[in-house]
Amino acid sequence: MSYIGTNKVGKLFFGEHKLGKAYFGEDLVYDSAGGSTVLPYDAKIEFLQSSGTQYINTGIKPTTNFKCEIKAQYVQNNNGFDTMVGCYDGTNYGVALGLQSTSGGNKLYIQFGGGSSYAASSVTSTTALHTFVTQLSNNTLSISVDGTANTATYSGSLPNINLSLFARNKATVGNFTNAKIYYCKIWNGGNLVFDAIPVRVGQVGYMYDRISGNLFGNDGTGSFTLGDDIIPIDFLQATGTQYIDTGINAQSVTRFVVKGYCYPDNGNNTQLLGGTAQGAGTFFGARTNGTTSNWYCMASGSGIGNPTHTSTIDATISSTSSQTGTLTDLANNTSYSFTSFSSGSWGFPNENLLIFGGYSTRRSPNARCYSLQIYTSSGLVRDFIPVRVGQTGYMYDKVSGQLFDNNGTGSFILGNDKTT
């Protein structure tokens, strides 16, 4: 197992330190022992890509209550048994999330324990970018590819050997894969024990485990191909056809804090945050009242502030059942209480909250988002900042360490790169 646990100083970096605080720039933070520490890498990158000879030992052994979530893409099928995450001790088959040639064509699959304990996905688009969730619990084995699940009954024993990425760890590491990994999370016994994202130190690629604070490097030969750097920018600007799915149901939101602006469109109400339904999808945005416009939430009240100027709005939802709450414009500390017209027609959408809205005629033709924090009863669940990878814009979530892509059409207008 190859990892680096030391920290570098004096570099321009972006992300979280081991205490979970996010920051930009040349900065020192302090650990609980009082010593200074900064992140041990130069940049976060979009992915690591193996050519078929590289692999990473995670240091994690699987248990019978196991879960793995990984966003990855096969570049090609090398040998019909290509393993993205796996281990094997020569007797017990262990774990293999991979790509296998079958009579029905190449399919994505998960194997646990004995050779007969495997679940094959119905997804055959094997070289597309997918999010895999594999799980072993209560003797049931499952693989979900982009939300489509297949299950099987588990039998057999698990090896006492570490899981590897890009290959199957065994006496002689094999079943290498030519693939890209965007992130990998592993749970044992219900506890998140490995939460890794791709990074670089100079031009050398690693997976950085956000739990241990260690870098995990190549234990194979050759070098990983590196994705582009993830670069923070001032804002994302939508033109009326772009939006981003936050993955958080609007009815679970207890608070959000958003910095942005949103122009009404020809006298219509427009969304900075919303859902796809015409009525129930109207959540938060710019509302025109005669010749003026204000920030509003739901569909009632006179609103506050000026949505055509950059504002930071803190919204507290008092009750999702009665759909009431308070908006506060942090620039001038003005507030107003809101309530929906009726829970049936203009209520909180029972769907994921969308940045820049989802309903096509309620998307602003000129809206920007500089940051967004979303809270539920569990606390802070999304902490978005705009970034670019190459010239493509994303929202980067500092809570999960993941990029959130445009679910609409066209491209975002990008703000300038942030330097502080």
Tell me the average pLDDT across 366-386: 93
* Lowest-confidence segment of 3-7, 53-57, 124-128 by average pLDDT: 3-7
Nearby residues of 94 by Cβ (< 8 Å), 6 or more positions away: 62, 86, 87, 88, 112, 113, 158, 159, 161, 168, 170
Spatial distance between the Cα atoms of 42 and 170, rounded to a whole number of angstroms: 32
Q: What is the pLDDT of residues 218-256, one digit of tens each?
A: 999 999 999 999 999 999 999 888 999 999 988 888 888
* Cβ partners under 8 Å of residue 158, min gap 6: 61, 62, 63, 64, 92, 94, 95, 112, 113
* Alpha carbons 67 and 158: distance in angstroms, whole number: 14
**Range 54-83 average pLDDT:** 82
Question: Which tens digits make up the pLDDT trace of 90-100?
Answer: 665 556 666 55
**Tens of pLDDT along 164-187?**
898 887 767 877 888 899 999 999
Is it the case that residue 101 has pLDDT exceeding 60? Answer: no
Model pLDDT, residue 278: 56
Residue 10: CB partners within 8 Å, gap ≥ 6? Answer: 26
C-alpha 192: how far from chain center: 15
DSSP 8-state class, residue 157: -
Structure confidence at residue 170 (pLDDT): 72
Structural domains of the chain, with CATH: 48-209+219-227 (2.60.120.200), 236-414 (2.60.120.200)
pLDDT, one tens digit per residue, over 252-308 is 888 889 998 887 665 566 778 877 765 544 567 766 554 567 777 765 555 677 777
pLDDT in tens, 134-152: 887 777 777 777 777 777 6
Burial pattern 166-200, b for ≥16 Cβ within 10 A else e, equals bbbbbeebebbbbbbbbbbbbbbeeeebbbbbbbb
pTM (2 d.p.): 0.78
CB 276 within 8 A of CB 293: no
Which residues are paired to 96 by β-bridges?
A: 86, 111
Residue 247: what pLDDT? 92
Q: Under a CB-based contact definition with an 8 Å cutoff, are residues 281 and 362 in contact?
A: yes
**Furthest-apart CA atoms within the chain: distance in Å:** 76
pLDDT of residue 49: 96
pLDDT at 117 over 80: no
Predicted local distance difference test score (pLDDT) of residue 399: 92
Q: What is the mean pLDDT of the chain?
A: 76
Scanning the structure block, which residue is given the tokens 């699987």?
62
Tell me the DSSP string of 260-318: EEE--BTTB-EEEEE-SSSSTTEEEEEEEETTEEEEEETT-S--BS-TTS-EEEEEEEE
What is the pLDDT at residue 244?
94
* H or E stretch at 337: strand 334-339
Q: Which one has a higher pLDDT value, 159 or 398?
A: 398
Q: Provide Rg for the chain, Cα atoms.
A: 23
Distances (CA, A) of 316 to 249, 270, 306, 321, 378: 16, 20, 19, 14, 15
Q: Token digits for 269?
A: 């109400």
